[in-house]
Amino acid sequence: MTRTRLSEQLLAPPVVSGAAAPVVGQTGAQLMAGFPARGVDPSWPSTCEDRSAVLARVLAAPFSLENPNSQRIRGAGVLAVLGWLADFPGGNWQQRWDASGAEAAGDWRDLFIGESVGRWRNAPGEPAPHLSIGLMVLICADVIRPGLDWLLRFAPARRALATEMARTRDSTAFAALNQACTEAHLESQTRQQALTRIAIIMAAKGGPVSAVRVGDCVELLATVTSIGPGSQTNARSPLFYQLLRQHGVLGEDAPAAIEMFSGNGQPTCEQLIDRYKIKCRPVRDVLVDYLRERQMAMDFSSLQRTAYLLGKLFWADLEAHQPGIDSLMFSREVAASWKKRVMTRARTSTSANGEQLHRTSARLDGRSAFSAVRAFYLDLAEWADDDPARWGEWAVRCPVSATDVSHKKDRLTRKSRTDQRASERLPVLPALISWVQAEWARTSDLLAAAERTAAGELFTAAGQTLRRTAMKTETTGRVWAEVPEGGPRRDLTFEEHRGFWTWAMVEVLRHTGIRIEELGELSHHSLIQYRLPDTGALVPLLQIAPSKTDAERILVISPELADVLSQIVSRIRAGQPHVPPIVSYDKNERVYNQPLPLLFQWRRRLDNRAVSETALRKYLDHALEELGIKDGGGAPMRYTFHDFRRIFITDAIMHGMPPHIAQLVAGHRDINTTMGYKAVYPEEVINGHREFIARRRALRPSQEYRTPTDAEWAEFIGHFEHRKVSVGDCGRSYDTPCIHEHSCLRCPLAAARARSQTPPGADPRQPH
Q: Encode 416-457 in three state secondary structure.
A: HHHHHHHHHHCCCHHHHHHHHHHHHHHHHHHHHHHHCCCCCC
133, 87, 92: which is closest to 109 by C-alpha? 133
For 448-466, what is the mean pLDDT?
92
Residue 88 pLDDT > 70: yes
Residue 104 pLDDT > 70: yes
Query: Residue 112 has what pLDDT?
Result: 73
What Å distances lie between residue 411 and 226, 365, 532, 676, CA to CA? 49, 11, 42, 9
pLDDT (tens digit per residue) in 562-601:
999 999 999 998 888 889 898 888 888 888 888 899 999 9
Q: How far is residue 371's CA from residue 402's CA, in Å, rounded to a whole number?
A: 9
- Do residues 611 and 520 lie in contact, with contact meaning Cβ atoms separated by under 8 Å? yes
- 764 cis-preceded (ω within 30 degrees of 0): no
Q: Is the dihedral of CA 597, 602, 608, 614 positive or negative?
A: negative
Which helix (H) or strand (E) covers residue 541, if one does? strand 538-544
Query: Residue 16 has what pLDDT?
Result: 46
Residues facing 528 on adjacent strands: 541
| Long-range CB contacts (within 8 A, 24+) of 4-7 | 6/562, 6/563, 6/566, 7/538, 7/540, 7/562, 7/566
- Do residues 46 and 168 lie in contact, with contact meaning Cβ atoms separated by under 8 Å? no
| pTM summary value | 0.77
Which band of pLDDT confidence, cut at 50, 70 and 90, is reported for residue 266? confident
Size (the chain), residues: 768
In this structure, of 215-219, 656-660, 699-703, 736-740, the range with the lowest mean pLDDT score is: 736-740
- Do residues 134 and 80 lie in contact, with contact meaning Cβ atoms separated by under 8 Å? yes
User: Exposure pattern of 506-534 as b/e (b: 16+ CB <10 Å)?
Assistant: bbbbbbbbbbbbbbbbbbbbbbeeeeeee
Which band of pLDDT confidence, cut at 50, 70 and 90, is reported for residue 546? confident
Note the Cα 299 to chain centre separation in Å: 20
Residue 244 pLDDT > 90: yes
> What is the overall mean pLDDT for the chain?
82
Query: Residue 44 has what pLDDT?
Result: 94
Residue 735 pLDDT > 80: no
Helices (H), ranges, 252-365? 269-274, 281-294, 300-307, 317-321, 332-342
**Phi, psi of 424, deg, nearest 5:** -80, -35
Which band of pLDDT confidence, cut at 50, 70 and 90, is reported for residue 154? confident
Which band of pLDDT confidence, cut at 50, 70 and 90, is reported for residue 2? very low
In this structure, of 144-148, 364-368, 545-549, the range with the lowest mean pLDDT score is: 545-549
Query: Residue 126 has what pLDDT?
Result: 47
- Do residues 122 and 129 lie in contact, with contact meaning Cβ atoms separated by under 8 Å? yes
Query: Residue 123 has what pLDDT?
Result: 43
Residue 120 pLDDT > 50: no
Q: How far is residue 248's CA from residue 212's CA, in Å, rounded to a whole number?
A: 11
Residue 206 pLDDT > 90: yes
**Phi, psi of 280, deg, nearest 5:** -75, 110
Which band of pLDDT confidence, cut at 50, 70 and 90, is reported for residue 761? low
Which band of pLDDT confidence, cut at 50, 70 and 90, is reported for residue 304? very high
**Phi, psi of 743, deg, nearest 5:** -85, 80
- Do residues 161 and 196 lie in contact, with contact meaning Cβ atoms separated by under 8 Å? yes
Q: What angle do CA 456, 462, 465 make, to 5 degrees?
A: 30
Residue 74 pLDDT > 80: yes
364, 361, 372: which is closest to 309 by C-alpha? 372
Which band of pLDDT confidence, cut at 50, 70 and 90, is reported for residue 661? confident
Neighbours of 633 (CB within 10 A): 7
Residue 6 pLDDT > 60: no
AA letter at 395 = A
pLDDT (tens digit per residue) in 369-413:
999 999 999 999 999 998 999 999 999 999 999 888 887 777 777
For 157-173, what is the mean pLDDT?
92
Query: Residue 355 has what pLDDT?
Result: 73
Query: Helix (H, G, I), strand (E, B), or coil: what is residue 535?
Result: coil
Q: How far is residue 349's CA from residue 383's CA, in Å, rounded to a whole number?
A: 45
Domain ranges of the chain: 33-257, 269-347+362-406, 412-427+640-702, 712-757
579, 610, 494, 607: which is closest to 180 by C-alpha? 607
AA letter at 107 = D
Residue 740 pLDDT > 70: no
For 415-443, what is the mean pLDDT?
89
Query: Residue 720 has what pLDDT?
Result: 54
AA letter at 763 = D
